[in-house]
Chain A
């Protein structure tokens, strides 16, 4: 019974994630790296439309994997994929900020400087300046898909529902995709957590789930805050 339910849930999840990702579903677990994008597609936080739409038009051509029923990548595989592919879309800050020391503490409410009705969220200079730098950030693990994780979604507030698991649930804007080191996956927790790692900013699609993320953290370690 448990297996059947698990299977049904996985099927639902698969459908959801495929819908979320607009990815070209392929039955195999083949991973194709993102092709190098032409320099005119480099994203900056102050870009005016339509470059983003142009970029958007190109994204579906990037071959993605079908969402697997179970994690088909080895632990750390998603991290390696993301590291390999997300540098192409690095934004540049309007007024770069220099930091005295690393890691720099950054909070979720420092991610965005505002929201433009027509252009969506506007990235803050602090967030963009920290692209590629070591940071410390606190938040909550979004209710995950499985107990042992090599990547998860970090949220500002504790989410009551797993947005992966329900079509009605919405991801909040304040999220970051966290990749744990290959060798040290973590156990799921509902406690607040603190992460140290390297921040990456720029639109990227997760190779495994097809989930779009703007902010990623390649974590070195995670602490549970009591």
Chain B
């Protein structure tokens, strides 16, 4: 073995050779200096077509991928110097990024806002590059809702709702015996979920789009992803919670069945480019450090709250985050019993953390309780939602609550379909409990309720499986004969005789035949799994340049199942998110503004419009006199959409003209 000194000297000599080669190459090429004639890559954040509310806070970054800004470098917004227009000074930053150590020189203006509605065209000149993006600041919309509740079924697609409804309510001679409560809402729209950097979606930037109105890149929350090494310094956009907190003094809650630092719950308040480990820990302390003021936080993830030196911690610092929340006035609870006891004292703020990581799913809490380990006293989503409402209602200014059923997605990934659909039914029960609570508290008419997904999974039902016949099969071909389609499918035999809205037996004789449109190598027996599924196992293979990950069928998972040959990259061990639009169900004031079809960022503007949010008004409310001209026109007490008003006047005009001409004829 070589000594360290020998290695250093070898490295130095290699470095010397590299420098020599670099010098020779650069001498042979034209000088790589920044000239006005060079077309330099320019990144402008926020991106083109970004939309804002007037007064919403954001950071503005311009990156030029060069060692220095060229002499002709210029930034204008609507022809003006942004520093003058926004009354703020930029900071210059430099770094290198990527495998090729690409240099970046950047200006960033922080904490800007555009008070006037209209288009803002940003033009950046850098060398031969002239790049323009246009932002739109929208008119604030009037609205009288006092509260907003956003339910997110993570990974909830229309197909998942259909299957869960059939499991929960049953279908007889074609008709569902009952609807889900949110299927009685008065508004429904479809929203697309694509990201700035990818046509595909991730829970971070999609939940962020719902909460900020800005689309963002995969893994990013409350920010546009720049190229700097720091994943927390990316240009930020303000969240709905921050806006209503600072201008309206409303109460805010985020409730989830996931680790609280996970992408969806954290999108209510957090800012960072990378949803992974270290940032997740930071998101939990951002609430306190940046005084964001989230009143109710409930979910799992205890291991991110305890100091690094404590065994079982996932923090990288020594902060005792539980203690910090307690000091900040939160009632900190760790079991359902503690939560209910604490509620008796009418706490203003609550932190409920009930599991080291994600909370256990409904099926494990209620059926396969052996999987709970020692965590037998976890609240369900219904308990947490109602508890959060009880705390939030104390604020006279109203509240915003985001409730996430996280494990629809978390269980769809490994095709643990019964666990996913049970958690979807639990979400529906939470919505039903919320409706009851709002009715009892006289708040139903002043609350906008939205139910949506951040993105979908490629799941659908295509028939039924005769499980006895399936099990009698000895080959895959014989097992496949137990799969029944079209009229042969008949009906599955799930039953809910005890009326709890969940099937009494999760393994009846006839079950759904379902599939997903993307999967690794795995086997499938269509049966509920007693323990959480691991459909494929992955291995590191090879070394150096040949190193890669290969996932293969897990022989311990559904050993009796049909072997499915994967259609994903071998390095992917579970199903992935899919492209389809997802539904948004809405009820209450403002729900009528749900788009028929739009990007999911529109949900943010629907929420803001419902409460008449105007960040430039002293009380944060759209004033009636200066209210934005809504796309409606009122004639003799009748309200007509703008599109129809033309027709109305045309008809009136024609009628009048006709009457006049008749009179002329008569005269």
Contacts and interface: CB of A to CB of B under 8 A. Distances in A.
B4 A29 contact: yes
A74 to B, nearest CB: 8
Contacts of A114: 374
A84 interface: no
Contact of A115 (B99, B314, B318, B374): B374
A160 B549 contact: yes
Given A147-B543, A214-B311, A115 B549 contact: no
Interface string B351-394: 00111100000000000000000110000000000000000000
Size range of the interface on B? 35 or more
Contacts of A121: 310-312
B279 to A, nearest CB: 10
A8 interface: yes
Contacts of A70: 7
Given A2-B545, A56-B309, 6 more contacts: A2-B544, A59-B309, A160-B540, A160-B551, A168-B276, A214-B311
Interface string A47-61: 001101101110110
A117 B302 contact: yes
B545 A22 contact: no
Contacts of B276: 167-168
B538 interface: yes
Nearest to B541: A190
A56 B318 contact: yes
Given A8-B99, A22-B317, A115 B356 contact: yes
A52 B277 contact: no
A98 interface: no
A203 B314 CA distance: 15
Interface string B532-560: 00000111100111000101000000000
- Dominant secondary structure of chain B at its interface with chain A: loop
13 contacts: A49-B320, A52-B307, A52-B310, A57-B318, A115-B312, A117-B353, A120-B303, A121-B310, A160-B540, A160-B573, A167-B276, A173-B311, A212-B309
Given A120-B303, A120-B311, A173-B312, A161 B544 contact: no
Nearest to B320: A53
Contacts of B217: none
B312 A118 contact: no
A105 interface: no
A80 interface: no
A6 B277 CA distance: 24
B60 interface: no
B334 A117 contact: yes
A154 B618 CA distance: 61
B458 to A, nearest CB: 23
Contacts of B99: 8
A1 interface: yes
B314 A170 contact: yes
Contact of B4 (A50, A72, A162): A72
- Of all A-B residue pairs in the complex, the 3 with the closest CB atoms, nearest first, are A56-B309, A120-B312, A121-B312
A123 interface: yes
Interface string A189-224: 010000000000001000000001010000000000
B309 A55 contact: yes
A190 B539 contact: yes
B316 interface: yes
A70 B307 CA distance: 29
B537 A160 contact: yes
B374 A119 contact: no
B540 A162 contact: yes
A147 B544 CA distance: 11
B77 interface: no
A207 to B, nearest CB: 15
Interface in A1-30: 1-2, 5-6, 8, 19-20, 22, 29
Nearest to B322: A118
A53 B1 CA distance: 42
Contacts of A22: 308, 316-318
B509 to A, nearest CB: 35
A75 B4 CA distance: 12
B306 A203 contact: no
Contacts of B538: 160-161
Contacts of B537: 160
A114 B551 CA distance: 32
Nearest to A6: B544
A184 B194 CA distance: 54
A143 interface: yes
A204 B319 CA distance: 18
Nearest to A68: B4
B333 to A, nearest CB: 9
A57 B312 CA distance: 17
B129 interface: no
Interface centre among A120, A123, A143 (most CB of B within 10 A): A120
A160 B277 contact: no
A29 to B, nearest CB: 7
Nearest to A3: B14
Nearest to B551: A160
Contact of B318 (A29, A53, A75, A120): A53
Interface string B288-331: 00000000000000110011111111101110101100000000
